[in-house]
A and B are shown apart, each in its own frame.
Chain A
């Protein structure tokens, strides 16, 4: 449960980016979170409002885009999406897969802001 420190990092990072848009209000913060990132959307949402109070992000909405785990399957010669985290095997051929291509992302994709004219 380190969602609070995750949100503190988000506040810091977004606040830095806002320097280029003086007076802008943040409406929405959009994240990309891989299924293996050890971060739970509910927990993020639960502390977002309180953790962003008295910051430039106050009142904004948090949108979390969860990315499934994508592995490269050598025998199949292609990237495959895992249906669950219970088995790291190719869903098509059943061979074990170890080459991770997506799933550990933890990033701020974009922010939506309202600028003052």
Chain B
């Protein structure tokens, strides 16, 4: 009997990372901008996305969405009312979307006929940060009802984001939302990040968001 140490140096999520890299190549080749929306449950990802899909379509953009939840297709039905193609991914207990789930739900869609593909992740501020979906832009959302210190409590997610969206700004005053503090906390965790202050109810702040989307789509990395 001899004992020995075998160096492996293997990424634990290597399979997901490889699949995600393949997806990223497909997205780039097709010229579709893919965004991964992440937040707690109840932040308003679906309402924000409903308005985004509707407005982009009204402006002639070709959009589609994948939406992840543990159960139900409620969100897909809400989003599909925009007229955009939408598919629900039910994870049945899994706390995040992974690249394999994305890949298996893209079947039959021609990516090169899309300008934007939005992926609404499972509501969770921890697990989705580990799973690359091949997206170009990861968007972390935070609502004014959640507390300004969310980014400090969940730095792993906010630090991995490319853009941040504050939702429900129409409730900022009744909630006593400290805007400066929230902006500072986000920037403290992710210096230099673009932050959008929005309301899906009033449409406030959405123009800046659409401008950002257009710029991201035209700039290829």
- A interface residues with partner B (beta carbon < 8 Å): 1-2, 5-6, 9-10, 13-14, 17, 21, 27, 31, 36-39, 85-89, 96-98, 100, 104, 106-117
Contacts and interface: CB of A to CB of B under 8 A. Distances in A.
A88 to B, nearest CB: 6
Contact of B130 (A39, A85, A112): A39
6 contacts: A14-B8, A88-B189, A89-B191, A106-B130, A109-B7, A115-B4
Interface stretch (B11-19, B60-68, B205-213): B11-19
B3 A98 contact: no
Contact of B8 (A9, A85, A109, A114): A109
Contact of B94 (A2, A39, A87): A2
A6 B7 CA distance: 19
Interface residues of B, number: 34
Contacts of B187: 96
A37 B127 CA distance: 9
Contacts of B159: 36, 85, 88, 100
Nearest to B159: A36
A112 B3 CA distance: 7
B95 A113 contact: no
Interface in B80-131: 94-96, 126-127, 129-130
